[in-house]
């Protein structure tokens, strides 16, 4: 009896389960459907049928996910932009009648020539010719005799200006008249000055202006000291023969005059000026060295940079085209060239006639002409005279 009742209860359970399944099947399947977008955001849920029938849970990888497409870089465009940034400035072609600057000297002069070529790259009226020898100097005439070589370069190039830079290789003994003189001895100084004068006279006899460039500081303290000594020789000899000496020492030294490897370039930006050996120059250092010579070169040669200044004269003054005014007695004067050292040519102050005229010598005249000082006024602290009515004590 118990077994029969248990069988009936089991059959009732099966009937209730079948009724429940049939009721679930009548529900629209669209209520359980999920879009692909929802499947991306939420994890797929399991329905009652999945629990009853034992269906496996749908795997998340079955849902189709949109793939993110990364934009492809335009490599060719990037290369083109980079090439534009690094492209060097176009060098203007020099004119047939361009004035030539011949640079002679040692390896330091070679760097100076490169800097000058960069400085005047955009000036078609000035051409820089490098005629340097890295191991040359004024001591070893057996290697290269510069006065004789300079004559050959003058005949070859017909330069308008000569730039000289020597001395880096001259810290050695010098032979003269069969005698060997020690570096920086009295005999060495006398002979070296004679050779400096001889090279300067070679350019002077040819009627060509020249610039003697001094040496910069070096990393070696002994080398810098010798370079400073040689610069004093060049400066004094150029003053004696009427040449132009350019001192570049301050551009490659600190406030105390010592060597620096990094400093400001011609634009004031901090850059490396010297090589790791403490002697050679970087590209920025060569350009800075040439910067010290530009002003004097433009003054001597002119060029496009000074064309608006050196060509000013009375013929270029547009007086006829000036607007008419009602003012009378207007004195027309030619413009003053900024390259004229005398400016207006006057030697007196404009208000010289307005200065008061005094009788006799002024205290200033007495001090300058005779070295006499005017007596102090009576009663002043520096008046050491005895009063006329005073009687000495005692």
Instruction: Output the pLDDT for position 366.
Output: 77
Instruction: Output the pLDDT for position 153.
Output: 96
**Do the domain assignments include residue 336?**
no
Q: Strand 99-105 and strand 161-165: pairing?
A: parallel
Shared domain check, 242 and 131? yes
Shared domain check, 48 and 113? no
Closest by CA position to 250, among listed 226, 280, 214, 222:
214
Rounded to 10 degrees, the C-alpha dihedral 242/145/149/163 comes to: -40
Shared domain check, 215 and 137? yes
**Do the domain assignments include residue 347?**
no
Q: Residue 50: is its pLDDT beyond 70?
A: no
Is 334:313 a contact under the CB 8 Å cutoff?
Answer: yes
Task: Output 294 or 356, whichever has higher pLDDT.
Answer: 294
Shared domain check, 170 and 58? no
Instruction: Output the pLDDT for position 373.
Output: 78
pLDDT band, very low/low/confident/very high, at 389 (cuts 50, 70, 90): low
Q: Residue 371: is its pLDDT beyond 70?
A: yes
- The domain boundary, picked from 281, 300, 319, lies at 300
Mean pLDDT computed over 265-283? 94
**Residue with the two structure tokens 């002024």:** 362
Instruction: Output the pLDDT for position 307.
Output: 44
State how far the Cα of 160 lies from the Cα of 95, in Å rounded to an integer.
14
- The domain boundary, picked from 237, 266, 300, lies at 300
State how far the Cα of 169 lies from the Cα of 134, in Å rounded to an integer.
9
Shared domain check, 237 and 276? yes
**DSSP annotation of 218:** -
- Give the HSE-up count for residue 324: Cα atoms under 13 Å, Cβ half-sphere: 0
Closest by CA position to 374, among listed 393, 358, 392:
358
**Do the domain assignments include residue 57?**
yes
Shared domain check, 57 and 128? no
DSSP letters along 96-109, please?
TTPEEEEEEESHHH
Q: Residue 362: is its pLDDT beyond 90?
A: no
Q: Residue 285: is its pLDDT beyond 60?
A: yes
Q: What is the pLDDT of residues 123-179, one digit of tens each?
A: 999 999 999 999 999 999 999 999 999 999 999 999 999 999 999 999 999 998 889
Is 303:295 a contact under the CB 8 Å cutoff?
Answer: no
Is 195:138 a contact under the CB 8 Å cutoff?
Answer: yes
H or E element at residue 263:
strand 262-264
Shared domain check, 107 and 242? yes
Shared domain check, 194 and 52? no
Shared domain check, 24 and 113? no
Torsions phi, psi for 181 (to 5 deg)? -105, 135
Instruction: Output the pLDDT for position 15.
Output: 73
**Do the domain assignments include residue 87?**
no
Residues paired with 163 in a beta bridge: 103, 211
Q: Which structural domain, as residue segments, surrounds residue 147?
A: 92-300
- Poorest-confidence range of 15-19, 93-97, 126-130? 15-19
Q: How many CB atoms lie within 10 A of CB 49?
A: 13
Which stretches of 206-281 are DSSP H helices? 221-241
Task: Output 40 or 263, whichever has higher pLDDT.
Answer: 263
Task: Output 53 or 210, whichever has higher pLDDT.
Answer: 210
Shared domain check, 151 and 52? no
**Do the domain assignments include residue 101?**
yes
State how far the Cα of 244 lies from the Cα of 237, in Å rounded to an integer.
10
Structural domains in the chain (count): 2
Residues paired with 213 in a beta bridge: 246
Mean pLDDT computed over 207-215? 96
Instruction: Output the pLDDT for position 60.
Output: 47
pTM: 0.58
Torsions phi, psi for 263 (to 5 deg)? -160, -170
Shared domain check, 109 and 38? no
**DSSP annotation of 91:** P
Task: Output 371 or 321, whichever has higher pLDDT.
Answer: 371
Q: Residue 246 maps to which CATH number?
A: 3.40.50.1110
Q: Which residues contact 212 (CB under 8 A, 6 or more apart)?
A: 164, 165, 200, 234, 238, 243, 244, 245, 246
Instruction: Output the pLDDT for position 365.
Output: 76
**Do the domain assignments include residue 133?**
yes
Structure tokens at 302: 């002119």
Instruction: Output the pLDDT for position 376.
Output: 79
**Do the domain assignments include residue 359?**
no
Is 156:102 a contact under the CB 8 Å cutoff?
Answer: no
Instruction: Output the pLDDT for position 318.
Output: 47
**Do the domain assignments include residue 122?**
yes
Distances (CA, A) of 297 to 121, 161, 203, 363: 14, 8, 16, 46
């Amino acid at each position: 009896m118990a077994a029969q009742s248990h069988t009936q209860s089991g059959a009732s359970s099966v009937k209730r389960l079948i009724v429940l399944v049939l009721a679930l099947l009548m529900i629209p399947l669209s209520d359980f459907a999920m879009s692909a977008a929802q499947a991306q955001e939420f994890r797929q849920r399991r329905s009652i049928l999945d629990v009853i029938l034992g269906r496996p849970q749908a795997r998340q990888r079955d849902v189709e996910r949109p793939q993110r497409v990364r934009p492809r870089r335009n490599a060719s465009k990037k290369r083109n932009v980079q090439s534009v940034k690094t492209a060097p400035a176009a060098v203007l072609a020099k004119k047939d009648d361009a004035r030539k600057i011949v640079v002679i000297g040692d390896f330091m002069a070679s760097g100076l020539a490169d800097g000058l070529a960069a400085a005047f790259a955009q000036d078609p009226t000035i051409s820089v010719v490098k005629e340097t020898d890295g191991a040359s100097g004024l001591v070893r005439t057996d290697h290269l005799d510069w006065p004789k070589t300079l004559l050959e370069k003058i005949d070859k190039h017909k330069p308008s200006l000569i730039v000289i830079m020597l001395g880096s290789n001259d810290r050695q003994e010098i032979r003269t008249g069969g005698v060997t003189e020690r570096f920086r001895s009295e005999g060495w100084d006398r002979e070296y000055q004679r050779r400096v004068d001889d090279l300067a006279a070679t350019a002077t006899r040819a009627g060509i202006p020249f610039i003697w460039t001094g040496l910069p500081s070096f990393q070696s303290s002994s080398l810098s000291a010798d370079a400073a000594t040689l610069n004093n020789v060049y400066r004094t000899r150029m003053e004696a023969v009427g040449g132009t000496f350019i001192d570049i020492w301050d551009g490659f030294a600190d406030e105390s005059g010592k060597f620096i490897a990094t400093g400001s370039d011609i634009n004031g930006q901090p850059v490396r000026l010297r090589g790791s050996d403490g002697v050679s120059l970087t590209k920025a250092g060569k350009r800075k060295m040439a910067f010290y010579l530009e002003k004097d070169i433009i003054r001597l040669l002119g060029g496009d940079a000074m064309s608006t200044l050196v060509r000013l004269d009375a013929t270029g003054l547009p007086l006829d085209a000036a607007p008419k005014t009602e003012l009378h007695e207007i004195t027309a004067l030619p413009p003053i060239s900024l390259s004229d050292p005398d400016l207006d040519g006057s030697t007196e102050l404009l208000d010289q006639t307005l200065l008061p005229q005094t009788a006799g010598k002024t205290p200033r005249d007495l001090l300058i002409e005779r070295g006499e000082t005017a007596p102090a006024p009576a009663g002043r602290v520096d008046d050491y005279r005895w009063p006329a009515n005073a009687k000495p004590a005692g």
